[in-house]
Amino acid sequence: MFRLAKKYKLLILMIILGIFLRFYQLDKFPLHLNHDEISQLYDAISIAQTGRDIYGNFLPTIFESVHDFKSPFYTYVTSLFYLLFGGGEVTIRLPGAIFGSLIIPAIFIFVLKLLRNRNIALASAFLTAIAPFEIFFSRKSFENVAGILFMLLGFSFLLIFKEKKFQNRWLYLSAIFFAIGMYTYFSHAILIPILILTFGAIFRKSFSISKKTVLPLIFFILLLTPLVFIMLTNPGSRYRSQTVFILQDPVLGKQIELAKSSLLMPDVYKYKTIIEYGFARYLNQFDPMYLFGHGLDLTNQGPLGMGLLYLFQLPLILMGIYSLTKMENLSNEKKFIIAWIIIGMIPSGLTFEKYSPHRSIMVFTMLNIISGVGLYYFLDIFNKKIYLIKLLAFSILTFAISINFIYFVHIYTVNFPVEKSESIHYPFEQVARYAWSEYQNYDQIVFDPLFGDVAPVIGTAAHYYIAYYGNYPPYKLQKEYKIGEKEREVIFDKFSIRKVDWREDYKLKNTLIIASVWSLPIDSIDKKSIRKVFYHYNGRPAFYAVELK
Amino acid sequence: MRINRKLVLGLILFFGLLVRIIPLDFPNFTADEARVGYRGYTLATEGRDELGRNFPFLFNSHKDYQFPLTSYLTALGEAIFGKSDFGARLPFVVIGVLLILPVFKISQKFSPNPNFHLLNAFLIASSPVLIYLSKVPNEIIVLTTLFTVLYYFLNRKSQKLLVIVILLILISLTSKMSFFILPPFVIYSLYQQKKMSKNIKKFFAVFCISIIVCGLVLFFTNPQAKRSFIENNFSIVSDLTISNGINTLRGEGLQANLPAFLERVLFNKLHFLPIGFLHWSSHFNPALFFGQLDPQGKFNFLSSGAFAEFLIFPLILGIVLSVKSEKRILMMFPYFLIMTFPAFISYPRMNLDLLVLILPFIVPIIALGLVKLNKILLLLLIFSVIFKILITLVNIPLEIKKTNEVRPYWVKELARDIFESSKDNLTAISDTAISDIAPFIQWYSPFNPKDAFLNINSPYKYIQYDLGKIKIINSETKIDQCSGTQYVAYLGERDLNQIKNIDIKTSTVYGSGNRAISLLQEKICLD
């Protein structure tokens, strides 16, 4: 055991560093549970207590959640954590942080098996431990991180299977992890099979279909049968795919309209427009400004933000590409790396958002690995130089890593909460707690979750915030939850979550209305009736609690 | 099968010419292109620019000064073919087609394979952006061709001294941007050149730097030169987003009670460096080359990159091969950095013109990937590239609609009607439809240049509001109904709002949406 620890002490140190960066003050950063986190947490509690989600669906295969139809994996895992650790806020973040920490050794194993170089594997593991996107997504309870972990493990076992002269147990392990990976996130259900087929095509000479391999294959197919059934039959899955598809992009919509008005072959030009637009969007995901400049979207200061990868990794990636290209062996492995990147970016290219980093994490993971290759060769080159040059090179590298890391920590812990308090739905928790504190004093509490610092946005998970922070029993919510008659109205208990129309609502009696300036003519409301103001983290007012006697 | 190289090259040149010349009146001009077209006419006929200055060195434009070469080339075309689309566009069509030849010649340096040479020529002939820019008066296509020819001559033996000298001068006359690129370009090319003697290399390097210094001295004699440099070439320094961002992020740290020293270390003016660097590296975004180069349609067909989408695969293959074994092609990579370097200091504008400059230097890499493909795949790719261009060119009305924002097609009719109206009446037109409408009126109608000549020596970003009997209404102009000097009025939404209380009906409507212009049925007064 001691010998093993000694052999892997660097890796262990990296894992410890990674664990620290993912778990330290997990309850405080991010500052506030966002709508994805709160809805998954409360649904997880609901599942653990009643076996149903808040809408009363028994063990759902897709969670309706805030009408965004979430894949089920993360919620079920969280419900297990709820049973172990209770329903504290941190419960929702624990699985993400654990999966995010496990990625570090997983990367080590994957790189070790793929590139067969321990030092490159260590360099990649180190960069994974400190990577901004890894830390960011691991701390915000995001299922894709788990998906990547299982994908890495699946391919690692596939590579071990190839290396160990086809011992079948590795293939079974691989099948299990691939299958779990496919259940974690919708896009993985498509990407993993494509990647497996690509892997098979690239390494076709190393594999052969035999009786030995057919059984694990059947086992894999059996594992996936429920998933295929869910995807084909559950309307939620189709709804989700449609709502995020690139055709929802308004700019593309305009271009399609123009193409359709064409006198010449309108259908041909329509599809030509879609294909060209989608391809341009796909390629745009490789914009260095996005990858290394502001891709994590942690600030509102244009180019001053945080990339998905550190800026110091840009030269390392170029060096990594150069080194990989120069390597005489590993031609199949290099092809697989390219295929991974090409395939991994497809979901981002097909969706309506200009950039969707959460859909391309597997690509950033691979870019991290390539920068690991670059780091290894950088160290290798300067290791052979005279002492002074070596010292200078190491000092520059250490300085670059340190300053990039400190900058990220600053942006993430200090600037992000202020700049993006709206996107983490601050101060919905305070609103929910206040509403419960005033519960006894009013006949009805109306909450309009339309808010926003610059432009109005609807906080779709308002009912989850109120139920969670009021410790409202899920079985009761399932029973009481109903859609009201007013615009976007959800009703349970004394709460009505809906659009506030002040022209009508000012007539209400013994009611507490909580709404923002987007719904309330705050200047013309009697100041005495404003019971409380809730502020964004940047200090600007977000909501007002107005009492109607 | 042995291919007849000359015949295929001839076919490629013919194809290049064909796609550049048909249809000749596409794309419609932007305001700046219309200005260059009109200026070419006034230079050719009056010996003056559109503002009435005798053969000036620096010309006015909406954004920055324009250097002389492009305008005088247009003048040459119009001196021969008159004030017409053909006259204004032809010099650039010729230059665009000529670009194929030096690229073809340069490719011979990299490989003896004739297919490789022909593929280089084909890729230039079929590049959407090079086709597009060959169809309008602009300096980019001229500069691209000049740099490519310069590269060709710098890589030959030294007997072409005179040609190189002339080329250097021409390049420096093309744009301010060339001042930044020319010295490192020449020095790096000389560094690569093994056949030339060291003394000649030194001579060229010194000569090139001298030309740039002379050009800069000449440029800075202009009173607005410093402003033009800061605003257009060092905009990273004047851009407020960065300065404000630094202050905001630092302020947030201070509010969180973090040490002022730490905040100063993390958020300071040094941020200009990484941002400049990232902005520069953003110019290598593959989407620009193979996806969409220009979302507005000013530089390129709206839905096209610099090359057809499918060519990204041979590019990747070409990069791999050049890193592995083709050192001569690998040596082209520094050119990308040299020629796009001005992007480092010109945040936040994307310098798409710089990207066009490097296309002839990317082409050998793509061609390297292409020649390694099997023949069927190669033919399929070539066919796809041709098919994509043809399918785009076949439906020009759609392209015109797509680029209507920057290249308005309806403005031709408006310009002619305004001119006709101004023959008998004073006429006024809102600047809401197009912020710089004067060049369109001057270009698309038989406007008399003398009616708009001014007494202005150093115009910078000057917009004409007074064209003799035609006045252009800006946001400060007051409009009313009166009995004084009356104008036939073509008004946009903003100015129609001024007279909404007066009962005046409108007749013809030009354009659509919030840029529509309506002709009033009664005359109005301007204040």
State how far the Cα of B199 lies from the Cα of A180, in Å rounded to an integer: 69
Higher pLDDT, A128 or B231: A128
| pLDDT tens digits, A69-105 | 898 999 999 999 999 999 999 999 999 999 999 999 9
Residue of A nearest to B246 (CA): A304
Residue of A nearest to B306 (CA): A280
Structure confidence at residue A198 (pLDDT):
96
> Is residue A342 classed exposed, middle or buried when 0-12, 13-18 and 19+ CB atoms within 10 A define those classes?
middle
Residue of B nearest to A307 (CA): B278
Q: Would you place residue A382 in the very low, low, confident or very high pLDDT band (cuts 50, 70, 90)?
A: confident
**A282 neighbourhood in chain B, CB within 8 Å:** 287, 291
Do B401 and A418 make contact, defined as CB atoms within 8 angstroms? no
**B266 neighbourhood in chain A, CB within 8 Å:** 403, 406-407, 410
Do B324 and A325 make contact, defined as CB atoms within 8 angstroms? yes
| pLDDT tens digits, A197-229 | 999 999 988 777 677 778 888 999 999 998 888
Structure confidence at residue B86 (pLDDT):
93
Do B347 and A303 make contact, defined as CB atoms within 8 angstroms? yes
CB B102 within 8 A of CB B144: no
Residue A166 has φ and ψ, to the nearest 5°, of: 60, 45
| pLDDT tens digits, B362-406 | 999 999 999 999 999 999 999 999 999 999 999 999 999 989 889
**A299 neighbourhood in chain B, CB within 8 Å:** 245, 249
Residues in chain B, total: 527
**A322 neighbourhood in chain B, CB within 8 Å:** 323
State how far the Cα of A472 lies from the Cα of A493, in Å rounded to an integer: 10
Distance between B300 CA and the closest CA of chain A, angstroms: 14
State how far the Cα of A125 lies from the Cα of A388, in Å rounded to an integer: 28
State how far the Cα of B80 lies from the Cα of B64, in Å rounded to an integer: 28
**A301 neighbourhood in chain B, CB within 8 Å:** 241, 244-245, 248-249
Do B309 and A276 make contact, defined as CB atoms within 8 angstroms? yes
Q: How many CB pairs under 8 A join A and B?
A: 128
Structure confidence at residue B499 (pLDDT):
84
Structure confidence at residue B429 (pLDDT):
93
Residue of A254, A265, A414 to mutate for B, most B C-beta atoms under 10 A: A414
| pLDDT tens digits, A406-433 | 999 999 999 999 999 999 999 999 999 9
The H or E element that residue A199 is part of is helix A186-202
Distance between B237 CA and the closest CA of chain A, angstroms: 14
**B365 neighbourhood in chain A, CB within 8 Å:** none
Residues 300-329 of A with CB under 8 A from B: 301-304, 311, 314, 322, 325-326
Residue of B236, B241, B252 to mutate for A, most A C-beta atoms under 10 A: B252
Do B279 and A418 make contact, defined as CB atoms within 8 angstroms? no
The Cβ of residue B15 has, within 10 Å, a number of other Cβ atoms equal to 18
Task: Going residue by residue through chain B, which has 527 residues, state the pLDDT in tens, using 9 for 90 and above.
Answer: 567 889 999 999 999 999 999 888 889 999 999 999 999 999 999 999 999 999 999 999 888 899 999 999 999 999 999 999 999 999 999 999 999 999 999 999 999 999 999 999 999 999 999 999 999 999 999 999 999 999 998 888 766 778 888 888 888 888 888 999 999 999 999 898 888 888 888 988 999 999 999 988 989 988 888 888 888 888 888 889 999 999 999 999 999 999 999 999 999 999 999 999 999 999 999 999 999 999 989 999 998 999 999 999 999 999 999 998 888 899 999 999 999 999 999 988 899 999 999 999 999 999 999 999 999 999 999 999 999 999 999 999 999 998 988 999 999 999 999 999 999 999 999 998 887 899 999 999 999 999 888 888 788 888 889 999 999 998 888 888 777 788 999 999 888 888 887 878 888 888 888 888 999 888 888 87
* Average pLDDT of the residues in A512-531: 93
The H or E element that residue A491 is part of is strand A490-492
State how far the Cα of B340 lies from the Cα of B354, in Å rounded to an integer: 5
Structure confidence at residue A142 (pLDDT):
83
- Going by their DSSP bridges, the two strands B506-510 and B517-520 should be labelled as antiparallel
Higher pLDDT, A311 or A330: A311
Do B242 and A302 make contact, defined as CB atoms within 8 angstroms? yes
A536 touches chain B (CB under 8 A): no
Structure confidence at residue B158 (pLDDT):
60
**A419 neighbourhood in chain B, CB within 8 Å:** 252
ipTM score assigned to the predicted complex: 0.92
Residues 213-272 of A with CB under 8 A from B: 255, 258-259, 261-265, 268-269, 272
Structure confidence at residue B1 (pLDDT):
55
| pLDDT tens digits, B50-94 | 999 999 999 998 888 999 999 999 999 999 999 999 999 999 999
**B282 neighbourhood in chain A, CB within 8 Å:** 287-289
Distance between B121 CA and the closest CA of chain A, angstroms: 25
3-state secondary structure of B506: strand
Structure confidence at residue A3 (pLDDT):
65
Residue of B nearest to A261 (CA): B398
* Average pLDDT of the residues in A302-326: 95
Work out the percent of chain A whose per-residue pLDDT is above 70. Answer: 98
**pLDDT above 60 (res A1):** no
Do B398 and A258 make contact, defined as CB atoms within 8 angstroms? yes
Structure confidence at residue B2 (pLDDT):
62
Residues 19-38 of B with CB under 8 A from A: none
CB B3 within 8 A of CB B114: yes
Of B267, B275, B287, the CB nearest to A284: B287
**B318 neighbourhood in chain A, CB within 8 Å:** none
Residues 299-338 of B with CB under 8 A from A: 302-305, 309, 312, 316, 319-320, 323-324
Residues 379-438 of B with CB under 8 A from A: 391, 394-395, 397-398, 401-402
A198 touches chain B (CB under 8 A): no
Residue of B nearest to A273 (CA): B303
The H or E element that residue A483 is part of is strand A482-483
A406 touches chain B (CB under 8 A): yes
Question: What is the 3-class SS of A207-251, one letter each residue?
Answer: CCCCHHHHHHHHHHHHHHHHHHHHHHHCHHHHHHHHHHEHHHCHH
**pLDDT above 70 (res A266):** yes
B278 touches chain A (CB under 8 A): yes
Q: Would you place residue A164 in the very low, low, confident or very high pLDDT band (cuts 50, 70, 90)?
A: confident
Best CA proximity match to A410, nearest among B356, B255, B385: B255
Q: Which residues of A206-231 are buried (b: 16+ CB within 10 A; e: fewer)?
A: eeeeeeeeeebeeebeebbeeeeebb
Do B398 and A262 make contact, defined as CB atoms within 8 angstroms? yes
* Average pLDDT of the residues in A227-245: 83
Beta bridge partners of A513: A446, A546
Structure confidence at residue B376 (pLDDT):
95
Of B281, B286, B323, the CB nearest to A326: B323
Mean pLDDT (chain A, rounded): 93
Structure confidence at residue A347 (pLDDT):
92
Best CA proximity match to A298, nearest among A400, A410, A403: A410
B235 touches chain A (CB under 8 A): no
State how far the Cα of B200 lies from the Cα of B187, in Å rounded to an integer: 12
Do A287 and B275 make contact, defined as CB atoms within 8 angstroms? no
**B324 neighbourhood in chain A, CB within 8 Å:** 325-326
Of B284, B303, B304, the CB nearest to A288: B284
